[in-house]
Amino acid sequence: MSLITVPTVRPVRDVRRALQKAATALTREEARYLVDAYYQMQKSRIETTNRISAAERGDQPPMEVLEWLAEQLNILENEVKRQLKAFADATTVGRWAMSICGVGPVISAGLLAHIDIEQAPTVGHIWAFAGLDPTRKWEKGQKRPYNAHLKTLCWKIGESFVKVSNNEKDIYGKVYLRRKEYERQRNDNREYANQAAAVLERKPNHKQAAIYRQGKLPDGHIHARAKRYAVKLFLAHWHYVAYEDRYGMPPPKPYVLAHGGHVDFIAPPNWPME
């Protein structure tokens, strides 16, 4: 007989009202902590659920404490998400971000928590802070030139856009698909031969060296380039909305739109908001 007494989940549910009341008063530092905590709980909940499923597939009854833990984590995960939604709902740019297919309250709150529009006069500042500026290299022994948490968040945004690319309401997933085809054509034409050679120079025994020797980039590299393009466009639109909301005027055009032969301006979708 088990000596473990599984606690009730009721105390966790009872904190909902207090958490919701405090959510709009969260500081950016508190929101950053909650975003990190959310993803940690999500990972733990998935791992716990997988252990339960593995036990069931092996015709073994799952441990009662694991079922209790999975339920607790699920409840806490949802409560934190509610807090972060209230935090994002309290701002114009937060509501705008959540109007975008593939961007939920956790990602929206995470962007608000990590990006200070008063420190980002152009979207280039955000790209650099998020580790999306390829000219900024992190050399050994140097301080990291970007925010690791924001970079991870942007990776999650890209993955989300890929997942919703077949949704009729999607915008940036379609951008990803179009860009991926463009990148694939350039790759087939060996237009990335210099990048391929640079990889071989750094890593001559790379597991995909045969592809690089052809003057081409592997499919995963093309996938990442297309995702990064879609995320950077989304961040440009996020910056536009945040800047106009803060200063009452549109921001300076990003360098890639104002120089180098790029003259097209793509306005943020769903903006101005109704």
DSSP 119: G
Least confident of 7-21, 52-66, 113-127: 7-21
Confidence of residue 62 (pLDDT cuts 50, 70, 90): low
Categorize the per-residue pLDDT at 123 as very low, low, confident or very high, splitting at 50, 70 and 90. very high
Smallest Cα–Cα separation from 195: which of 225, 228, 151, 162? 225
What totals of helices (H) and strands (E) does the chain contain, helices first?
Answer: 13, 0
What is the tens place of the pLDDT at every residue in 190-239?
Answer: 999 999 999 999 999 999 999 999 999 999 999 999 999 999 999 999 99
Domain that holds residue 75: 7-90
Residues 61 and 122 in one domain: no
Tens digit of each residue's pLDDT (9 = 90 or more) over 133-153? 877 777 778 888 899 999 999
Burial class (CB in 10 A: 0-12, 13-18, 19+), 189: exposed
Which pLDDT score, from 0 to 100, does residue 133 have?
86
Let me know whether 78 and 96 are in one domain. Answer: no
- Read out DSSP for 223-239? HHHHHHHHHHHHHHHHH
Q: Which pTM value belongs to this model?
A: 0.88
Give a yes or no: residue 174 inside a domain: yes
Q: What is d(CA 97, CA 107) in angstroms, rounded to the nearest whole number?
A: 9
Q: Of 90, 115, 136, which residue is a domain's last?
A: 90
pLDDT band at 65 (very low <50, low <70, confident <90, very high): confident
Domain tally for the chain? 2
Q: What percent of the chain has pLDDT over 70?
A: 86
Last residue of a domain, one of 90, 115, 131: 90
